[in-house]
Amino acid sequence: MYLGIDPGRNKSGWALVNADGELCASGIFRTVDAPEFFRAAACGTFQSLERFIIEKTAQWPESWPEPQVLLGDGTGKEPLLALAQSATFRVKLVPEGGTTLEARSLYWRLHPPRGLWMLVPTKLRVPRRDVDDLAAWAIVLRSLRKKQREKERDW
């Protein structure tokens, strides 16, 4: 399991993702609530994170082993890095440039447009909510793709 985090000054997105890159759950927490979020994530159960969830898929595990935390290396990472490490998570910094655009594509994959919206090009559609959580998913996907490329290169 991977816990991706897209840090920000006022709010941060998170995504719990399995080893295949499939989203299990995601959400957004206010940066001031970060200590509570990391305590909840350390519990490793659905109930502990329920308050923070926006998206949840059918593949939601009842519990999970301690996830690898993949933290975006952008604005606001320092306090989140310290909190994650104090909660004994293994943390890896991941470049997060361009993840907001990836997050928009992920939003439309989860919530396909209907009716006339299908005629509007994807790049012109604006999601109906903040997508910081999906940017966190994009951070995990980016890391998994890099790991896959490195594995292929080693062959």
Domain boundaries along the sequence of the chain: 2-154
Contacts 24+ apart (CB under 8 A), 110-119: 110/23, 110/55, 110/134
Q: How many helices (H) and strands (E) does the chain have?
A: 5, 6
Segment 32-42, tens digit of pLDDT = 999 999 999 88
Amino acid at 124: L
Segment 99-112, tens digit of pLDDT = 999 999 999 999 99
| Residue from 121, 125, 119 nearest 107 by CA | 125
C-alpha–C-alpha distance, residues 28 and 31, integer Å: 9
CATH, domain range 2-154: 3.30.420.140
Per residue of the chain (155 residues), give pLDDT as tens: 899 999 999 999 999 999 899 999 999 999 999 999 999 988 877 788 889 999 988 677 777 777 899 999 988 899 999 999 988 899 999 999 999 999 999 999 999 988 888 888 877 888 989 999 999 999 999 999 998 888 887 77
* Beta carbons within 10 angstroms of residue 43's beta carbon: 11
